């Protein structure tokens, strides 16, 4: 491209001059491809030019730096002005100094980066550019281009030299006092006689790129450490252009007995590891019958011949054409889990077998007790018949009071036996069927009052209990009527919530109550004025679902039975 600049007269009175340059590639921006300053009005004058060193056949820079061919009559100020005009178009921050270390060119990109105008720095030396660019008045790369010194290694890194051209990275400070990382390239400026008359330096902020690269390196290292120390096998299999393992972590050796190196040498090892009876699963994946990204449990044959269960999870990697070029996956040893599951299934099967055996035994036991109960009842009926005949005969003759007493006792014992047999019939059904939900209000409404007022305050309450739960309330009702006394007038059934989230259900009457000394024993089997089985049976029914019953009333004020129901055995509909 052509760049026109108004430059000072070169001493020949020509006036306007033109700066002509070839296009400068972005990747080679420092080697100012070619600049030619020609006097338009005096085409016969010698030209002043700045050119870059040439490249060797290997692409390396050759030469000594930037060479200026100068008309002896042209002033050096014109040369610096030409350089300043040219570098002003460069996107990288660039400046030049003369042999005395004074700034002679300071481009717009450097003005923006440093916050200092060119007019404020041109002609100044004493390493002022070091302070403005790097935060310290110290020699920088441009100074080492003038006079190379090994001290450069103290403040720069990644130093490369190609002849007199130097490039390196270093730390700097931007106008906001933020520390940055710079890449810089510097070269001496030579006149046509090969004498160094100055130097030029171009600076590029690579902080973001350096940070990104550093973060990427750290991330790769972090994930590599995770993979190297993982207990699961982590692998990558290349499919195209050729099948091979490109990565296998050390866990492969601990699980299979084969090292990562053995996997790299044998691309078929992953297939050979799979038990022959399970290889059809891999074939189903290859043919599309089975999804590749679903967990796949397989039996692997270890190097020592033993079997290990491995769950594979694979992720296909596609190219732009939609072809699978690689598979990345994780293999987890699930042998212990599989063996545990097998053991649990065997244990469950064993429990099921025992359950069937117990069910059959219980069926036979119930049949046997039913038959026995039937036979005993038949004999009791015969006994009762003969007792009635004997009592009738005794009462007619009135001649043996002692015999009558004995016969009455026999009759009482016979009745007790009948009650106990009836209890066994009911008790054998306890816990046989699973618990169900009972609406308490409905159960209370079905109770026979026998002239006694029943106050039902249980609306909305349901209990999860054995199907025999109705017997609880019928037995409590029977006890109240039988033992409540002549003044018994009403029964109240109600409930309240506890702070513990339990619920208490109360069955209370206004009868004579229960003596304090009997409260602890009334729920024991055989204790009571009748058969001694009613309250015992109630406690057993409630206990099936964890419900506790106790008597908390006061003697002379009525009996109060409290049933404490755990949170998982009740529900309340507040509607």
In a domain, 524, yes or no: yes
392 and 327: one domain?
no
The number of folded domains in the chain is 4
- φ and ψ of 187, to 5 deg: -150, 150
Q: Does 224 map to a domain?
A: no
Q: Which token pair is 533?
A: 């089985």
Percent of the chain with pLDDT over 70: 73
Q: So what's the pLDDT on residue 430?
A: 62
Question: How high is the pLDDT of residue 361?
Answer: 53
Which string of DSSP letters, residue by residue, matches 445-478? HTS--TT-EEEEE-TTEEEEE-TTHHHHHHHHHH
Tokens 């077998």: give the residue: 353
Residues 155 and 113 in one domain: yes
pTM exceeds 0.75: no
**Which one has a higher pLDDT value, 391 or 164?**
164
Residues 355 and 266 grouped into a single domain? no
DSSP-assigned letter for residue 54? P
Which are the contacts of 155, defined by CB distance < 8 A and separation ≥ 6? 138, 140, 170
Which helix (H) or strand (E) segment is 198 a member of?
strand 196-205
CATH number of the domain to which 263 belongs: 3.30.450.20
Exposure string over 167-179, b if 16+ CB within 10 A, otherwise e: bbbbebbbeeeee
Same domain, 64 and 158: yes
pLDDT of residue 157: 85
Torsion angles phi and psi, residue 425, rounded to 5: -65, -40
513 φ/ψ sector (left φ>0, alpha ψ -120 to 50, else beta): left
Q: Last residue of some domain: 333, 349, 376? A: 333
Most distant pair of Cα atoms in the chain: their distance: 175
Same domain, 103 and 179: yes
- Domain contains 214: no
Residue 258 to residue 60: CA distance in whole angstroms: 47
Domain end residue (candidates: 427, 444, 459): 427
Q: Do 552 and 469 belong to one domain?
A: yes
Residue 218 located in a structural domain: no
Residue 482's domain comprises 436-572
Share of the chain above pLDDT 90, in %: 36
91 and 179 fall within a common domain: yes
Is 415 within the bounds of a domain?
Answer: yes
180 and 54 assigned to the same domain: yes
Task: Give the mean model confidence (pLDDT) for residues 225-235.
Answer: 90
Per-residue pLDDT tens over the stretch 325-336: 999 999 999 999
Dump pLDDT digits (tens) for 410-443.
Answer: 777 676 677 666 656 666 666 667 889 999 999 9
pLDDT at 167 over 70: yes
Specify if 152 maps to a domain: yes
Whether 151 and 11 map to the same domain: the answer is yes
- Would 549 be classed as within a structural domain? yes
Q: What are the distances in angstroms from CA 43 to CA 46, 47, 75, 89?
A: 8, 9, 18, 26
- Does 418 share its domain with 486? no
pLDDT digits (tens, 9 = 90+) for 2-27: 223 332 333 333 333 333 333 333 33
CATH number where 543 lies: 3.30.565.10
**The domain boundary residue, chosen from 364, 397, 427:** 427
Domain for residue 212, yes or no? no
Regarding whether 511 and 450 lie in a shared domain, the answer is yes
Is the same domain home to 35 and 163? yes
Q: Cα separations (Å) of 189 from 76, 166, 274, 286? A: 12, 13, 70, 66
């Amino acid at each position: 491209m052509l760049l026109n600049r108004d430059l000072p007269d070169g001493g020949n009175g020509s006036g306007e001059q033109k700066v002509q340059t070839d296009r400068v590639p972005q990747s080679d921006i420092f080697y100012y491809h070619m600049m030619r300053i020609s006097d338009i009005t005096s085409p016969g004058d010698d030209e002043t030019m700045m050119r870059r060193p040439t490249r060797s056949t290997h692409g390396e820079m050759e030469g000594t730096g930037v060479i200026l061919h100068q008309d002896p009559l042209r002033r050096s100020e014109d040369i610096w002005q030409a350089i300043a005009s040219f570098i002003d178009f460069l996107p990288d921050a660039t400046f030049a100094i003369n042999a005395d270390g004074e700034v002679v060119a300071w481009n717009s990109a450097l003005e923006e980066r440093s916050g200092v105008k060119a007019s404020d720095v041109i002609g100044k030396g004493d390493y002022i550019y070091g302070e403005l660019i790097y935060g310290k008045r110290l020699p920088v790369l441009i100074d080492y281009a003038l006079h190379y010194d090994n001290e450069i290694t103290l403040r720069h890194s990644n130093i490369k030299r190609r002849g007199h051209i130097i490039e390196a990275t270093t730390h700097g400070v931007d106008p906001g006092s933020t520390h940055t990382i710079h890449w810089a390239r510097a070269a001496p400026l030579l006149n046509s006689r090969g004498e160094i008359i100055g130097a030029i330096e171009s600076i590029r902020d690579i902080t973001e790129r350096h940070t990104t690269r550093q973060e990427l390196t750290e991330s790769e290292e972090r994930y590599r450490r995770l993979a190297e120390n993982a207990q699961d096998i982590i692998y990558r299999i290349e499919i195209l252009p050729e099948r091979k393992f490109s990565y296998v972590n050390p866990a492969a050796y601990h699980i299979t007995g084969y090292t990562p190196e053995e996997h790299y040498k044998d691309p078929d090892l992953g297939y050979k590891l799979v038990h022959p009876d399970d290889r059809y699963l891999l074939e189903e994946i290859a043919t599309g019958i089975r999804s590749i990204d679903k967990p796949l449990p397989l039996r692997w044959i270890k190097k020592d011949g033993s079997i290990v269960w491995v769950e594979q999870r694979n992720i296909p990697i596609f190219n732009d054409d939609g072809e699978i070029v690689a598979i990345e996956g994780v293999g987890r040893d699930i042998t212990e889990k599989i063996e545990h599951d097998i053991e649990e299934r065997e244990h469950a099967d064993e429990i099921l077998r025992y359950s069937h055996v117990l069910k059959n035994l219980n069926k036979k036991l119930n049949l046997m007790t039913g038959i026995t109960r039937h036979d005993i009842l038949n004999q009791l009926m015969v006994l009762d018949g003969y007792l009635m005949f004997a009592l009738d005969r005794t009462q007619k003759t009135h001649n043996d009071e002692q015999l009558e007493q004995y016969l009455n006792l026999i009759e009482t014992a016979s009745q007790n036996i009948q009650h106990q047999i009836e209890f066994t019939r009911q008790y054998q059904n306890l816990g046989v069927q699973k618990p169900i939900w009972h609406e308490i209000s409905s159960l209370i409404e079905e109770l026979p009052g026998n002239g006694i007022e029943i106050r039902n305050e249980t609306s909305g309450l349901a209990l999860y209990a054995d199907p025999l739960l109705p017997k609880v309330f019928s037995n409590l009702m029977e006890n109240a009527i039988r033992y409540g006394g002549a003044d018994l007038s009403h029964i109240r059934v109600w409930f309240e919530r506890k702070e513990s989230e339990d619920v208490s259900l109360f069955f209370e009457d206004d009868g004579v109550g229960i003596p304090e000394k009997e409260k602890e024993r009334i729920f024991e089997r055989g204790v009571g004025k009748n058969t001694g089985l009613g309250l015992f049976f109630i406690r057993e029914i409630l206990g099936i679902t964890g419900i506790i019953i106790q008597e908390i009333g006061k003697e002379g004020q009525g009996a109060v039975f409290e049933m404490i129901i755990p949170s998982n055995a009740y529900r309340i509909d507040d509607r």
